Amino acid sequence: MIYEEQKLPNAGDTVLVGMSGGIDSTLTALLLKERGCRVIGVTMSLWDSRFPKISSTKEHCFDANESESIEKCRSFCQSQDIEYHVVDLHNEYRENVLEYFKAEYRAGRTPNPCIRCNATMKFSAMLASVQKLGIDYDYFCTGHYAKLVRPKTGLYGSDIQPYMIAQASDGSKDQSYFLYRISSSVLEKVRFPLANLSKKEVFELARKAGFLSDEYIESQDFIDPQYFDFLFSDKPFAEGDIVDLDGKVLGRHKGIEHYTVGQRKGLGVAVSRPVYVHSIDAEHNRVVLAPIEDLQVKRFVADDFVWAGDVEPTNALEVSVKIRLAGGLHHAIIERYTALPNEKFIGTPWQITLENPQTAVAPGQSAVLYDNGVVLGGGVITKVEH
């Protein structure tokens, strides 16, 4: 299929820019200002004051020092004569991201809070808050490394040509995996000004503009690991057995929330060969370990799909699939999955068969499907076949 990249906003367009205080979003606002756009900056305030303040040398999306990032955004916007707003979304963030994060780990799955945040916060709750303020805009832009495209023909024989996410030119910084759950109706007004820039070019442009310094962070993680225990402090961790594939007890775990599929470090067991977390049995409160070769996965099932333009394939399809941000694209066949009598799914489940087996495919993570670098859709991994 042939796709056409969408043009950036033109001079005179009103553009809302999501700002975090980092280099990418700051440069995005500057580039649009230089194009002659009327730029409006907006930042989400996410911090929940019920959390303790912990000293850290690194900034995070959920951070007790978010006021410093907000002040950087405010100061930059003031220097560029850019209108600026802060919207308080800490309640929405707790419900949509933090509670989701806890529930997934307690169910023995591996969550991806960044994907959840993009879909429910940055491209949803924040835009709804801006609308309540009476702010109108032609486009919403962020500093994500991704492209926005449309197919020249309808998807799967339909007449629907939706707005779709595609991989950025700089593959090493591509963030399309994080954005797959954003609906095409929202994407219609979204643009990514850094889509065709490399990180090196971004740094160079920031340096020329005079704001590349230690004040501007390159990226943000979800949450400081020091907050993990406090986040889960609403009820005690339940200790349980660490076992091998035959059920032999190898040791004790400190709560399944502390483990994820593929983990090797911090297992606290003494065995004769390297072992990894093979699976997490939440029903029986067990962590299952195995050698790396037993973590190979040829086939898995995903559910809760989001499809570009809400257009679902009608037949089996050859795709490229990404099963984790740091992993590459893998050739695969997807086909509808027929649920067993005891299985329940949120929507229509799909079975994904990999051409080459992969290790550590984790329930709770996302499987994102691509066609020539364009996101067709994606879902959450629910069932793995070893």
- Please report the pLDDT score of residue 306 as a whole number: 97
CATH code, 167: 3.40.50.620
Query: Are 49 and 96 members of one domain?
Result: yes
Query: Are 139 and 285 members of one domain?
Result: no
**What is residue 174's DSSP assignment?**
-
- Please report the pLDDT score of residue 109 as a whole number: 96
Asked whether the predicted pLDDT for residue 295 surpasses 60, the reply is yes
- Please report the pLDDT score of residue 262 as a whole number: 95
Asked whether the predicted pLDDT for residue 188 surpasses 60, the reply is yes
Asked whether the predicted pLDDT for residue 42 surpasses 90, the reply is yes
Asked whether the predicted pLDDT for residue 55 surpasses 90, the reply is no
Query: Are 60 and 139 members of one domain?
Result: yes
Query: Are 220 and 242 members of one domain?
Result: no
- Dihedral of the alpha carbons of 226, 381, 384, 322, in degrees to the nearest 10: -90
CATH code, 304: 2.40.30.10
Asked whether the predicted pLDDT for residue 336 surpasses 90, the reply is yes
Q: How confident is the model at residue 156 (pLDDT cuts 50, 70, 90)?
A: very high
Asked whether the predicted pLDDT for residue 220 surpasses 70, the reply is no
- Please report the pLDDT score of residue 213 as a whole number: 60
> Which residues on neighbouring strands pair with residue 381, listed in sequence order?
302
209 phi and psi, to 5 degrees? Answer: -75, -15
CATH code, 273: 2.30.30.280
User: Which of residues 184, 204, 227 is at a domain's end?
Assistant: 227
In this prediction, what percent of the chain has a pLDDT beyond 70? 97
> Which residues on neighbouring strands pair with residue 42, listed in sequence order?
18, 85
| DSSP secondary structure string for all residues of 17-82 | EE--SSHHHHHHHHHHHHTT-EEEEEEEE---TTSPP---SS-EEE-TTHHHHHHHHHHHHHHTT-
CA 144 – CA 377 distance, rounded (Å)? 18
Closest Cα partner for 279 from 363, 199, 335, 338? 363
CA 373 – CA 321 distance, rounded (Å)? 10
Query: Are 177 and 53 members of one domain?
Result: yes
Asked whether the predicted pLDDT for residue 56 surpasses 70, the reply is no
Which residues form the domain of 278? 236-290
Domain count, the chain: 3
Query: Are 95 and 242 members of one domain?
Result: no
User: Which of residues 227, 245, 260 is at a domain's end?
Assistant: 227
Tokens of 6: 């969408």
Asked whether the predicted pLDDT for residue 216 surpasses 80, the reply is no
pLDDT in tens, 222-261: 777 888 889 999 999 999 999 999 999 999 999 999 999 9
Asked whether the predicted pLDDT for residue 215 surpasses 60, the reply is no
- Please report the pLDDT score of residue 219 as a whole number: 52
Query: Are 156 and 19 members of one domain?
Result: yes
CA 295 – CA 324 distance, rounded (Å)? 15
Query: Are 46 and 158 members of one domain?
Result: yes
User: Which of residues 203, 227, 251 is at a domain's end?
Assistant: 227
Query: Are 253 and 122 members of one domain?
Result: no
pLDDT in tens, 74-120: 999 999 999 999 999 999 999 999 999 999 999 999 999 999 999 99
Query: Are 316 and 263 members of one domain?
Result: no
Query: Are 66 and 203 members of one domain?
Result: yes
pLDDT in tens, 3-20: 999 999 999 999 999 999
Q: Choose between 112 and 53: higher pLDDT.
A: 112
Query: Are 152 and 223 members of one domain?
Result: yes
